Amino acid sequence: FDRFYLGLETQTQRRLTSTISAIKAQAGNNTVTKAKENKTFQAIQEERREQAERSVLISCPPKFNENKFLDYLSKHGTINKHFFYSSYGTYAVVEFSSEESISSLKESTHLPAVEHEAAVPFKSRLLSLKWPGNQMNNQPMPTFQEQSPPSIGDISQLLSEKDSIDEQLQCLTEALQLTEKNINLRFLVCSLLGDIAGAYFPECIIRPFGSTVNGFGKLGCDVDMILDLDGIYATSQKKGSGLSLEYQVKRGASERAVTQSILSVIGKCVDQFGPGCVGVQNILQARCPLVRFSHQPSGFQCDLTANNRVAMKSSELLFIYGQLDPRVRHLVFSVRYWARVHSITSSIPGAWITNFSLTVLVVFFLQQRSPPILPTLDRLTELAGPSDKCVIEGNDCTIVSDLSKITLQKNTDTSAKLLQEFFEFYGNFPFNKASINIRKGKEQSKPETTALYIQNPFETTLNVSKNVNATQLERFVKLCQESAWLFQKSEILNRSSSQSAETVSPWGFSALLLPSVTSGAGVKSRRKRKLEPASSRIKTLLDSLKIKGGETVAKKGSA
Ligand code: CTP
Ligand code: MG
């Protein structure tokens, strides 16, 4: 590690230092979770959605004057906030204080004159700023807000400088978590997509769910979206006894068939008319049919689903768990990052454990502490008020929305201790016979023979981790065992006091990110594993830490 950093060219070193300062500044500024503490999940989502409806996304030229740009836009109304980011060009997100400003702005915006092709005249809120060529030079550039996660090299250095493992886990969470502005951009992209889907269903809303809203999103994660056609938050349909009207509707063979047909039409629309939407794929045969595409101006990979209210409820559930105690998010971020660096998870679908499964594993583990750090899902249902009642397709999805009703027991374990115990817990868990059940907060006997059984919190007959095969589960377990081992070594636990801030070796959590000797997917490492006893494997790893750890970490690039 030392050699890697000391050997860097000065210019690269300077760039690295400036990236790290930016991450530090970002970590300090990030108040996403704190500021919203006393609002319900639904209120937070509604507020963000409403802000997005009053916003526009503008592609800007390489050089322009920020003040003149803002003056120009202010003619249409007061600007609440704005920021710039860079993603294959410069973009501005501008939020007005009133929706009327959007209509006014759109009235003064014109369709482009296209010379050799033809334009689809769909007037969206994705605009381009035209700046006179003769006024381009010598303009001060605006500050860009970072939208990508820091590289693993930056993370390792940042963590190595911390004084305790607890500080490392907190710092990792702050460096990786979605920023307020990144969440704004995600809601804006959903809102822009809603305008397209609105051509067919004028009252529809496209809502983000999953890691965009559950408090565990990492910069760069995908945007999961639900096409909400009939008010996801609407309470049960009121049927009066008197005169009433109902809509005549076309019927489909099944709920699934209707969802597939709606998504295929919206997918086509996004593909053909949606500015900036590329690589549209219809994945309609999946258990949960979806349309996948890239939104180029934001750089987001988007998964649009429909008729998926339960997934929004599980996002709310995870959000609540994440809000109850800061250690929850520290643990989830570190376990997910650790798993990603060691290729236990992947963004490509396959037999590996997903981030969602890992999060549920952490929740379950925290329910098992003595005293428990997190309540069971059954407890969250018991605490719910009448307005929290929610039944979706026969599944009781009721959970308390008012977090102040939840009382927690006093558990003073540090995040570092919890992480170590997480590895021990799952390194020894009887996965062959037991299943994970966060509803009861207890392990249950496994209803089927899949390698890993994690009961879906709301659709209780489903297994969240059905995709995981025995090999992938074994890799996870082995890596947990190895990390639990490493956690007991003094070389890992303590930062060497003789090192200066610039030349620290990876220690604590950063040391757990170094390449493993047991988890490699290759045949060679598997053979090696059989031959060597665990203690000598750990020794090899510890030796590699001392000699060349940092080089390997740095070469792996961004996870
Ligand atoms: N989901 C589910 N059952 C699964 C997989 C996913 O109910 N087997 C729901 C969860 O609510 C999850 C959401 O779908 O949060 C989105 O799934 P995914 O994108 O895989 O997970 P995220 O939580 O968004 O995590 P990330 O995208 O960061 O990996
Ligand atoms: Mg996701």
Q: Tell me the CA–centroid distance for residue 123 and ligand 1, in Å.
A: 32
Range among 24-28, 286-290, 540-544, 555-559 with highest mean pLDDT value? 286-290
pLDDT per residue as tens digits for the range 29-45: 444 444 456 899 999 99
pLDDT per residue as tens digits for the range 412-431: 999 999 999 999 999 999 99
pLDDT given at position 552: 38
Q: Tell me the CA–centroid distance for residue 440 and ligand 2, in Å.
A: 25
Residue 555 reports pLDDT greater than 50: no
Q: Tell me the CA–centroid distance for residue 378 and ligand 2, in Å.
A: 25
Cβ atoms of residues 323 and 403 within 8 Å: yes
DSSP code string of 451-494 = S--BB-SSSTTSBTTTT--HHHHHHHHHHHHHHHHHTT-HHHHS
Distances in Å between the Cα of 146 and the Cα atoms of 91, 133, 182 are 12, 28, 8
Residue 171 has φ and ψ, to the nearest 5°, of -65, -40
Q: What is the position in ligand 1's atom list of the atom closest to the CA of 218?
A: 28
- The single-letter code of the amino acid at 64 is F
pLDDT per residue as tens digits for the range 350-391: 999 999 999 999 999 999 999 999 999 999 999 999 999 999
- Return the residue whose CA atom lies nearest to atom 1 of ligand 1: 311
300 ligand 1 Cβ < 6 A: no
Residue 493 reports pLDDT greater than 90: no
Cβ atoms of residues 479 and 344 within 8 Å: yes
- ipTM of the complex as predicted: 0.98
Higher pLDDT, 517 or 221: 221
194-223: b or e for each residue (b if 16 or more CB lie within 10 Å)?
bbbbeeebeebbbbbbbbbbbbbbbbbbbb
Q: Measuring CA to CA, which residue among 264, 304, 310 is closest to residue 284?
A: 264
221 ligand 1 Cβ < 6 A: yes
pTM: 0.88
355 ligand 1 Cβ < 6 A: yes
Give me the chain's average pLDDT, please. 87
Residue 4 reports pLDDT greater than 50: no
Within 8 A by CB and 6+ apart from 64, the residues are 129, 131, 136, 139
Nearest bound ligand to the CA of residue 311: 1
Q: Tell me the CA–centroid distance for residue 488 and ligand 1, in Å.
A: 33
- Alpha-carbon dihedral sign for residues 466, 471, 473, 476: negative
Q: Tell me the CA–centroid distance for residue 347 and ligand 2, in Å.
A: 9
pLDDT given at position 338: 97
DSSP code string of 503-518 = GPPP-GGGGGGSPPSS
Query: Which of the listed residues 224, 318, 465 should we mutate to test ligand 1's pocket, taking the one with most ligand atoms within 8 A of CB?
Result: 224
pLDDT per residue as tens digits for the range 57-85: 999 998 889 999 999 999 999 999 999 99
Residue entry with tokens 């009939």: 230
Q: Measuring CA to CA, which residue among 156, 222, 18 is closest to residue 513?
A: 156
Residue entry with tokens 């549209």: 280
224 ligand 1 Cβ < 6 A: yes
Start-to-end C-alpha separation, the chain: 18
Query: Which of the listed residues 309, 315, 356, 458 should we mutate to test ligand 1's pocket, taking the one with most ligand atoms within 8 A of CB?
Result: 356
Q: Tell me the CA–centroid distance for residue 340 and ligand 2, in Å.
A: 14
Q: Tell me the CA–centroid distance for residue 161 and ligand 1, in Å.
A: 33
291 ligand 1 Cβ < 6 A: no
pLDDT per residue as tens digits for the range 163-215: 999 999 999 999 999 999 999 999 999 999 999 999 999 999 999 999 999 99
The two structure tokens encoding residue 249? 């509707």
pLDDT per residue as tens digits for the range 446-479: 998 999 999 999 999 999 999 999 999 999 999 9
504: confidence class by pLDDT, cuts 50, 70, 90: low
